[in-house]
């Protein structure tokens, strides 16, 4: 049965007016738990390798290889999902990823050569199930195929706001979970928990009924509509791969790379700052303070007026993030540091929501999951690279040098926002419609 919903009552279908009604009551809790292993991955690997080998260098290098693997292979997994469906891609990667996490645990305690540890780290990142971007892609498909056309712009904006907020919460909560499990049960506990969560939660997410929704056709797709599970229909239409590397897509990837650099550099710099005071375990608390502000402003995006366009939003809040980073770098007290983290967080939340919304609008035909995965991979790559580089700076030149790295990262975000301002002029009408949250 075709679910176009343009004339639902004429087909005997009751229109679904909200996203929760369309996906069912279990979807959002399941999607939240299923993305937690992804947020635990980099920090968990770092904790395990350092504890088992007593080598900060090997630990940082291994976590960097995890990020590199995710960045290289994440978009390929997204492309696989676009072509063959999310269920197959998620189930296969969940099985492989769970096994590799166990292999790494055995490898570090058996004192295998460092090259083997690095190779396993890369494989862990390469096989990571891409739950966050696939959730966005799946929800975008639900909105465009199962909701009445009049409600789609508002539903898409609110859903991207929610998804960005959840990512903020998970990226803050993930390191906290890793630290708590490692403290209570040993350094291997976070990786073992991530392995179990991947097998159970990601497997359940893959099998959820929402996974049968076909990818939504883009504005230039020449298909009759999107079909539900089991329905016969035309083969999926996909834009050429080269469209993924257009300036309008790559500028979004650059923005997310900058945000990932900011996450990684802030967490590592805060570890150096609190370590100087003899309380390194408090770094997560300070980091969480930034995440709270980011989550709150991400939710506030839904009340922004339509005339506050997406490209203007990103530029404004990128400047806010940069201002907060400068305050962090120049803070002379913990109070000033907290103020800077709060200001930076206020800028990050809306930037995340805006870039995801732009990614949804700019995805080439049939490539939504690929674009969303490119964005998610850019964050994890930036986080891994910045963690390693900031740690090296802290060891070599001291905490003050490490505290300056978030300024550079925020500058990358602001530069991408400025480039997007110029690239976004032509389709401003389309983006204005996407930002019409008060329609």
Question: Which CATH number belongs to the domain containing residue 202 in this structure?
Answer: 1.20.1250.20
Range of the domain at 98: 26-213+241-434
How does DSSP assign 184-224, residue by residue?
HH-TTHHHHHHHHHIIIIIHHHHHSGGGGSPPPP-TT---S
Helix boundaries (H) for 277-398: 283-300, 310-330, 334-362, 368-397
In a domain, 8, yes or no: no
Structure tokens at 232: 């016969």
What is the mean predicted confidence (pLDDT) over 293-304?
A: 76
- CA–CA separation, 269 vs 329, rounded Å? 10
> Of how many residues is the chain composed?
439
Percent of the residues in the chain that have a pLDDT greater than 70, as a whole number: 83
Tell me whether residue 231 is in a domain: no
pTM value surpassing 0.85? no
Looking at residue 148, the DSSP 8-state letter turns out to be -
CB neighbours of residue 275 within 10 Å: 15
Average pLDDT over residues 410-434: 74
Q: What is the pLDDT of residue 281?
A: 52
Does the structure show a pLDDT above 60 at 5?
no
Q: Are 144 and 100 in contact (CB under 8 A)?
A: no
C-alpha distances out from residue 95 to 124, 128, 138, 147, 203, Å: 11, 10, 21, 33, 8
Distance (Å, whole) CA 291 – CA 293: 5
Q: List pLDDT tens digits, range 152-198.
A: 878 887 887 788 778 767 776 777 777 778 778 888 888 999 999 99
**pLDDT value for 236:** 57
Is the pLDDT reported for residue 107 higher than 50? yes
Q: What's the rounded mean pLDDT across residues 313-342?
A: 93
* Bridge partners, residue 2, by sequence: 227
pLDDT of residue 14: 46
Indicate the DSSP class of residue 366. Answer: T
* Residue 83: CA count within 13 A, CB half-sphere: 9
| pLDDT at residue 393 is higher than 50 | yes
The pLDDT of residue 222 is above 80: no
The number of distinct structural domains making up the chain is 1
Write down the mean pLDDT value for the chain. Answer: 79
Report CA-CA distances (Å) from 298 to 13, 172, 383.
Answer: 34, 14, 20
Residues of the chain with pLDDT > 90: what percent?
26
d(CA 184, CA 197): 18
Q: Which residues contact 413 (CB under 8 A, 6 or more apart)?
A: 255, 258, 259, 262, 318, 321, 322, 351
Q: Is residue 85 part of a domain?
A: yes
User: What local confidence, expressed as pLDDT, does residue 237 receive?
Assistant: 67
Residue predicted with more confidence, 245 or 138 = 138
Judge whether 4 lies within some domain: no
Is residue 148 predicted with pLDDT exceeding 80?
yes
The torsion angles phi and psi of 259, rounded to 5 degrees, stand at -65, -40
Q: Which of 395, 404, 396, 309 is nearest to 350 (CA)?
A: 309
pLDDT category of residue 8 using cuts at 50, 70 and 90: very low
Q: Which whole number is the average pLDDT over 102-115? A: 91
**Quick check: is 14 in a domain?**
no
Q: Which tokens go with 78?
A: 């997204």
The residues, ordered by sequence, that sit 6+ positions from 291 with a Cβ below 8 Å of its Cβ are 168, 169, 171, 172, 345
* Cα–Cα dist 256/380, whole Å: 9
What pLDDT digit, counting tens, does each position of 63-73 carry? 778 888 887 88
64-98 pLDDT per residue, tens = 788 888 878 888 888 888 787 888 889 999 999 99
The answer to whether residue 421 is domain-embedded is yes
Q: Which of 114, 155, 112, 150 is nearest to 136 (CA)?
A: 155
Tell whether 81 is covered by a domain: yes
Q: Which residues contact 303 (CB under 8 A, 6 or more apart)?
A: 437, 438
Is pLDDT larger for residue 298 or for residue 231? 298
Contact of 321 with 413, CB cutoff 8 Å: yes
Q: Is 430 helix (H, G, I), strand (E, B) or coil?
A: helix
Residue 361, pLDDT above cutoff 50 = yes
Span of 50-54, 319-323, 431-435 with lowest mean pLDDT: 431-435
* Residue 282 forms part of a structural domain: yes
Residue 376's pLDDT band, with cuts at 50, 70 and 90, is: confident
Distance (Å, whole) CA 383 – CA 176: 16
CA nearest neighbour of 355 among 322, 383, 317, 381: 317
């Amino acid at each position: 049965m075709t679910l176009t919903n343009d004339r639902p009552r004429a087909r005997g279908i009751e229109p679904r007016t909200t996203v929760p009604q369309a996906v069912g009551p279990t979807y959002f809790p399941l999607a939240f738990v299923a993305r937690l292993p992804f947020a635990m991955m980099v920090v968990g690997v770092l904790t395990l390798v350092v504890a088992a080998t007593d080598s900060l260098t090997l630990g940082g290098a291994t976590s960097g290889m995890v990020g590199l693997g995710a960045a290289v292979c994440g978009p390929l997994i997204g492309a696989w999902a676009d072509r063959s469906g999310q269920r197959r891609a998620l189930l296969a990667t969940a099985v492989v990823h769970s096994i590799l996490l166990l292999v790494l645990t055995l490898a570090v305690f058996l004192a295998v050569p460092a090259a083997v540890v690095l190779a396993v780290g890369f494989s862990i990142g390469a096989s990571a199930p891409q739950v966050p971007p696939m959730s966005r892609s799946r929800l975008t498909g639900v909105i465009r195929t199962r909701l009445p056309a009049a409600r789609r712009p508002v539903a898409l904006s609110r859903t991207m706001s929610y998804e960005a907020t959840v990512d903020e919460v998970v990226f803050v909560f993930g390191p906290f979970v890793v630290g708590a499990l490692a403290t209570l049960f040993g350094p291997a506990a976070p990786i073992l928990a991530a392995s179990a969560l991947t097998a159970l939660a990601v497997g359940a997410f893959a099998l959820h009924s929402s996974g049968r929704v076909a990818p939504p056709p883009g504005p230039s797709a020449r298909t009759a509509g999107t079909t539900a599970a089991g329905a016969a229909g035309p083969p999926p239409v996909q834009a050429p791969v080269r469209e993924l590397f257009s300036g309008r897509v790559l500028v979004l990837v650059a923005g997310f790379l900058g945000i990932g650099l900011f996450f990684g550099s802030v967490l590592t710099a805060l570890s150096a700052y609190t370590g100087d005071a003899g309380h390194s375990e408090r770094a997560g608390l300070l980091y969480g303070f930034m995440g709270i502000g980011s989550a709150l402003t991400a939710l506030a995006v839904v009340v922004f007026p339509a005339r506050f366009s997406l490209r203007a939003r990103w530029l404004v809040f990128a400047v806010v993030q940069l201002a907060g980073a400068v305050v962090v770098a120049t803070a002379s007290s913990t109070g000033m540091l907290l103020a800077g983290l709060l200001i930076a967080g206020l800028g990050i939340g809306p930037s995340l929501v805006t870039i995801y919304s732009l990614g949804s609008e700019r995805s080439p035909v049939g490539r939504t999951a690929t674009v969303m995965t490119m964005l998610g991979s850019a964050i994890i790559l930036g986080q891994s690279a910045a963690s390693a580089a900031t740690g090296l700076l802290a060891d070599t030149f001291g905490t003050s040098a490490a505290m300056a790295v978030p300024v550079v990262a925020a500058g990358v975000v602001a530069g991408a926002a400025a480039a997007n301002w110029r690239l976004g002029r032509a389709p401003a009408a389309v983006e204005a419609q996407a930002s019409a949250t008060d329609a």
